Amino acid sequence: MVRCKKKRSKKSIEKLFELFKTVVESLCRLTGIKRRVPSTYHPRTNGLIENFNKTIADCISKHDPKNWDKWIDYVLLAYRSRIYPSTKQTPFELVFGRKMNMFDDWKSMEAESESESIYRRSIEIKDLFDK
């Protein structure tokens, strides 16, 4: 989240929200997306996102929680390059329709948890970048 030091008036914030709403509605209409807005916080409706957030938070907490910003890129790259059993593809392939450049696909070991395998892979990726 980007925070602005300058205080904005309530009216300018309302205008920004209205602009955002208009843009999102236009994009949804153009792409044929039926947008549904869940309640503010309801874990059942936000289950996939809650699971993703927990996985990423678990991985970062294993590295260095105080310096999470130094690890987030590696953890996300590890998450996006992992082949998931349910789809037999990586999240990157599902979004972009092609394999990620420069990285081999990888599968976690059977006994290893998702967050543990992503943690291990993020260390491997960081080591590749540090060379």
pTM: 0.52
Residue found by looking up tokens 């990888």 in the block: 106
Band (pLDDT 50/70/90 cuts) for residue 103 is low
CB-based contact 82:42 (threshold 8 Å): no
Residue found by looking up tokens 């420069």 in the block: 102
Residue 87, token pair as written in the block: 């789809």
Residue found by looking up tokens 């904005």 in the block: 8
Band (pLDDT 50/70/90 cuts) for residue 104 is low
Give ∠ CA 18-20-26 in degrees, rounded to 5.
Answer: 100
* pLDDT tens digits along 19-70: 888 888 888 888 888 877 766 666 677 777 788 888 888 888 888 888 888 8
CA distances from 75 to 36, 92, 123 (A): 29, 14, 8
* Cα torsion 58, 62, 66, 71: sign: negative
